[in-house]
Amino acid sequence: MFNGKKVVVVMPAYNAEKTLEKTFREAAAQPFVDQVVIVDDASADGTWEAASRIDGAVTYRMPRNTGYGGNQKQCYKLALELGADVVIMVHPDYQYTPMLIPAMAAMIGNGLYHCTLGSRILGGCALRGGMPFYKYVSNRALTFVENLLMGQKLSEYHTGYRAFSRELLESLDLSGNSDDFIFDNQMLAQIAWTGAVIAEVSCPTKYFEEASSISFRRSVKYGFGCLAVAMRYFLARTGLAGWRLLPSANRGKLAPAMLKKTL
């Protein structure tokens, strides 16, 4: 626990047999971590068997493959049911180091932030960690446009390392979000809509054969999806069009007092 708040780490797993246990062991060993939840999205390899062998993990297997977003929805549902006050998502492919979990837990647990992202861009870690150059350029370009349209100043929107407060997760309706990779961007749009300040910490990352990656075709689809999310957000915040993922009741709901008058 941190400040009496329960910390739960969630791992949305898919075909992560080779790296799952290593990621779990390192995450579970971090200070403040109370429980680790592994949700297997009906993997085609031995991910479920590997998860079942891990003592101390809370495991769940999806009855069918639902996609990255669908997996996350189940992760957060289970974490809240376990009584989590702080929920940290880390991919089980060991691309992101679990050693940042204590810092991210503290940033949420001390009440300063409702959301913290582990950024591969801050500190220049991405290229040194092996991120392909085309992915780096795409990440930077998409982030630039998204910041303009959404009125944010994030270094990236595409990290898979995220921490949330219970209050924030309970304020969001994730059921209408995509079950695909664009879920991440939709969720960040919903968080920004609440007015919650999104914090970032520099996160070293590793790219290697076992690390998860999506195909070029799906990357292109994801990129256009991100632009669509940002545009829908822009239209909503300027009052030109509504969006069911951004209900008016949530606008500015979690903004710090000094920011509420500007929303």
Structural domains of the chain, with CATH: 7-260 (3.90.550.10)
The answer to whether 20 touches 101, Cβ cutoff 8 Å, is: no
d(CA 201, CA 250): 26
pTM: predicted TM-score of the whole model, two decimal places: 0.94
Three-state DSSP class for residue 201 = strand
Tokens 């059921």, residue located: 175
Q: Which residues of the chain have pLDDT under 70?
A: 208-214, 257-263
DSSP-derived secondary structure for 34-72: EEEEEEE---SSSHHHHHHT-TT-EEEE-SS---HHHHH
User: What's the pLDDT at 222?
Assistant: 94
User: What's the pLDDT at 215?
Assistant: 73
User: What's the pLDDT at 208?
Assistant: 61
User: What's the pLDDT at 127?
Assistant: 81
For residue 223, the cross-strand partners are none
d(CA 46, CA 48): 6
